[in-house]
Chain A
Amino acid sequence: SQQGEEDPQALSIQEGENATMNCSYKTSINNLQWYRQNSGRGLVHLILIRSNEREKHSGRLRVTLDTSKKSSSLLITASRAADTASYFCALRIVGAGSYQLTFGKGTKLSVIP
C-alpha cells in the first residue's frame, strides 16, 4: 500500500503531557503533511515537511522526517484539551498523480483535562 500508516491508532494522555504520533510509508515522497480533524469534519493543515528536510517546528508542534526509514513523527508538546482530535499524515507521492494526497487512517488523540 502506498498510503501512510499512523501509529498508534489511538492515544490518551493527560493535559500537559507530550503526545507523539508516527507515520510510516513505503514509497518515495515529495513531501509529507500533517492534518488535524475535529469531530470527523474539515481538515486543518498543521505542517508540511519536504523530502529534503529533517525537522520543522510550528508553535507546540515538531515534525521530523527520516526518508531512509520512510517515517515521520509529530510531537505535540504541553498538550491541551483542545488538542483532542484525529491526526493524519498525508503523502505527496513522487510520480504520476503526485498532485493528490494519500492519507493514512489517522491517530485519534484524547487529551484529558
Chain B
Amino acid sequence: GAGVSQSPSNKVTEKGKDVELRCDPISGHTALYWYRQSLGQGLEFLIYFQGNSAPDKSGLPSDRFSAERTGGSVSTLTIQRTQQEDSAVYLCASSLLSDLEVFGPGTRLTVL
C-alpha cells in the first residue's frame, strides 16, 4: 500500500479483556516498530522487527504484551488482561533498513 495502515482505528474494551491491534506496513519495508503514546506524552518504544532476525522486545512493559510478525509483513500486537493504564495510542511504523520510519495513523485504545 501507499502507507502504513492500522486497525482498528479505535478500540474500547473492558478491563481484563484481551485485544489485538493490527499493523500493515509498507510493502517491501523490512523493519517494523510498535510505539505507545500515553496522553500528553511522547512515544515509548515497545518492540522492533527486522527481517527474519529475532525481534527486540525490550520495550514491552509487561508479559501481558506480545507481538508477532507473520511472513515478514503484517504484525499483530496483543495485550492480554488489559488494564486501565494500557489506555493509549498505539503507533506502528515501518522502514527500509532501519532508516526513515513511516508511521501509521495509530489505534486509540481505551480500557474502561
- What residues of chain A have their CB less than 8 Å away from a CB belonging to chain B? 3, 35, 40-45, 48, 88, 90, 97, 99-106
- What residues of chain B have their CB less than 8 Å away from a CB belonging to chain A? 31, 33, 35, 37, 39-45, 48, 50, 56, 58-59, 89, 91, 93, 98, 100-106, 108
B41 near A105 with CB under 8 A, answer yes
B101 near A40 with CB under 8 A, answer no
| 20 further contact pairs, Cβ within 8 A, besides A90-B43, A100-B48 | A35-B103, A40-B37, A40-B89, A40-B108, A41-B108, A42-B103, A42-B104, A43-B43, A43-B91, A43-B103, A45-B102, A88-B42, A97-B58, A100-B59, A101-B43, A102-B45, A103-B42, A103-B43, A103-B44, A104-B42
Task: Tell me the minimal C-beta distance from B40 to chain A in angstroms.
Answer: 7
Nearest-CB residue, chain A, relative to B3: A42
Residues of chain B with a CB closer than 8 A to A43's CB: 43, 91, 93, 103
Cross-chain pairs A/B with CB under 8 angstroms, 14 sampled? A3-B42, A42-B91, A43-B91, A43-B103, A45-B100, A48-B100, A90-B43, A97-B56, A97-B58, A99-B48, A100-B59, A101-B43, A101-B101, A104-B42
Task: Tell me the minimal C-beta distance from B83 to chain A in angstroms.
Answer: 21
Main secondary structure of the interface of B (DSSP, over half): strand
Which of A3, A42, A44, A102 has the most B CB atoms < 10 Å from its CB? A42
Nearest-CB residue, chain B, relative to A104: B42
Q: Given known contacts A99-B50, A100-B33, is B40 in contact with A105 (CB within 8 Å)?
A: yes
